[in-house]
Copies of this chain bind each other. A is one copy, B any other.
Amino acid sequence: MKYCTQCGSPVEQMIPEGEDRLRHVCTQCGFIHYQNPKMVVGCIPVWKDKILLVKRSIEPRYGKWTLPAGYLENGESAADGASRETLEEANARVSDLKPFGMFNMPQINQIYFMFLSDLVDTDFGAGHESLEVRLYKEEEIPWDEIAFKVIKRTMELFFEDRSTGEFTFHMEDIYFDRSVKYRT
């Protein structure tokens, strides 16, 4: 950011008194602009032995497959946001949302929060950010064509849990070169 949201004057990066890290501070009015990680919320929509994936029609990763997910908006809960994204991207309705996993990605200031969900019916189709929507069995998943590492990891954990018959909550920190798993 270059200008103050409160007075329109230029901002500079400095460490405010009593703090320990760089912030964007207004050179005129002194307003401190805090910047914080954003939460991305999404679903694993389950239909019988299949899950619903969407093929992206936007960058980044145009043409790659992913689970319905997007930025949580002000005024909505994580579950409401995950349902909304599923409706927007796949024209699909989900029910019975259950927390499945949280994936911290500190290097890109994002937190993914994914839900298990039941697909209500098979009346779905491409939304405005999708080229195609379809149900995949585990053995049909295009693992080399998945848009994001965090989505691939979510699906791996889903199929692992499904094979044991017990779904648990997962948390991992995902860095470019390593991951940290938490006991849950």
Contact = CB atoms under 8 A, between A and B. Distances in A.
Contacts of A169: 99, 169, 184
Interface stretch (A46-54, A69-77, A130-138): A69-77
Interface residues of A, number: 48
A106 B80 contact: yes
Contacts of A94: none
A38 interface: yes
Contacts of A79: 104, 171, 173, 182
B5 A35 contact: no
Contacts of A61: none
B9 A5 contact: no
A184 B143 CA distance: 28
A111 B182 contact: no
A21 interface: yes
Given A3-B7, A75-B106, 20 more contacts: A2-B5, A2-B8, A3-B5, A5-B5, A8-B10, A34-B71, A36-B39, A36-B73, A36-B74, A37-B39, A39-B39, A39-B111, A75-B107, A78-B104, A80-B106, A98-B183, A99-B102, A99-B182, A102-B102, A102-B113
26 contacts: A1-B5, A2-B5, A2-B7, A3-B3, A3-B7, A4-B8, A35-B74, A36-B71, A36-B72, A36-B73, A37-B39, A39-B111, A74-B106, A74-B109, A76-B106, A77-B104, A78-B111, A78-B171, A79-B104, A79-B182, A96-B183, A97-B182, A98-B183, A99-B171, A99-B182, A102-B102
